[in-house]
């Protein structure tokens, strides 16, 4: 599956904005980490390796909520969100999965006025 020109153009625009803001071009993991930090409200905090992985999980769940794949169940006593999976992700090849994630990341940023 080829990435659509529109999706690729929007993705490059997001990368450009993030490069301007943070001084280096982010990869998907960095972008998911950034979303996770945003969702947890942890800007300025340092995180353990395990917490960084948890932040990326928070990001994946958060960006897939609008697609009906997850819903927020609530927050724990440490301020971390917990999610419930509503439906299975469709089977996808690597490039399809990459484009699926890019599209959801772009939608997340558009909804959060970045």
- The residue ranking higher by pLDDT, 46 or 105, is 105
Q: How far apart are the first and last CA of the chain?
A: 28
Average pLDDT, the chain: 92
**How far apart, in whole angstroms, are the C-alpha atoms of residue 75 and residue 80?**
5
**How far apart, in whole angstroms, are the C-alpha atoms of residue 96 and residue 104?**
12
CA atoms within 13 A on the CB side of 110: 10
Per-domain residue ranges of the chain: 47-114
Q: Find the mean pLDDT for residues 80-108.
A: 95
pTM of the entire structure? 0.88
Q: How do residues 44-60 score in pLDDT, each as one tens digit?
A: 678 899 999 999 999 99
Are residues 76 and 82 in contact, defined by beta-carbon separation less than 8 angstroms?
A: yes
Band the pLDDT of 1: cuts 50, 70, 90. very low
Band the pLDDT of 41: cuts 50, 70, 90. confident
């Amino acid at each position: 599956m080829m990435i659509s020109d529109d999706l690729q153009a929007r993705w490059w625009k997001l990368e450009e904005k993030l490069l301007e803001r943070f001084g280096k071009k982010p990869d998907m993991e960095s972008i998911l980490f950034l979303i996770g930090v945003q969702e947890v409200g942890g800007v300025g905090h340092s995180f353990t390796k395990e917490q960084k992985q948890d932040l990326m999980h928070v990001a994946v769940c958060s960006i897939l909520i609008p697609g009906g794949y997850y819903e927020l169940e609530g927050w724990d006593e440490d301020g971390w969100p917990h999610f419930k999976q509503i439906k299975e992700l469709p089977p996808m090849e690597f490039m399809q999965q990459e484009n699926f994630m890019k599209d959801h990341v772009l939608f997340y940023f558009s909804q959060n006025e970045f």
